[in-house]
Amino acid sequence: MKAAMYFSFLGMASVALTSFKKTVPLNMHYATSNTYKVLIVKNTYELRVFDSSGEWIVTYPVVFGNKDLGDKMMQGDRKTPEGIFHIRNKRKHEKWNAFILLDYPTEESYRKFQERKSEGLIPVNAEIGGGIGIHGTWPHEDYAIDQYQNWTEGCISTKNDYIQEIFRLLPVGTQVEIRR
């Protein structure tokens, strides 16, 4: 009788302890562009991954370019653009471990850019820029993420172990929203 109660208790405890555990699936053979959504929040320095039902899966610390965390205005301002983007391409990267290219600039990015030009907020000869993505850090410099050192040219950077997880998890086409 005691043994039965003991195993029953162990079974309930294991269910209780594992029911709320968030795990990142490692076998992504069946993931599609609609399987996940990403929300990057600049003010909290977070990249959050959600499943298609909107349930939170995992959060990674990230850093950006310019310290003021404003929206990208033009090429060379080191600011990270805000808006809704999609993963266009993924590749291993010789400096930053892996690179996940976003489809910046989008039509909305061009609209904001032209509006800012017409308002005189940026020079008339300014370029919009491009090549924005999510990537790792220089080798052995993950501490930049722990210290919230914004060092990129406008990209989103995270630790090298984390970029490997993100790289495996997110397929091309995944929606990425960036906001302040």
- Residue ranges and CATH numbers for the domains of the chain are 29-179 (2.40.440.10)
φ, ψ (nearest 5 deg) of residue 128: -80, -30
Please report the pLDDT score of residue 30 as a whole number.
66
Single pTM value for the model: 0.82
113: Cα separation from own chain's centroid: 23
Q: Over 70: is that where the pLDDT of 31 sits? A: yes
CA atoms within 13 A on the CB side of 91: 8
pLDDT at residue 143 greater than cutoff 50: yes
pLDDT digits (tens, 9 = 90+) for 73-132: 999 999 999 999 999 999 998 887 899 999 999 999 999 999 999 999 999 999 999 999
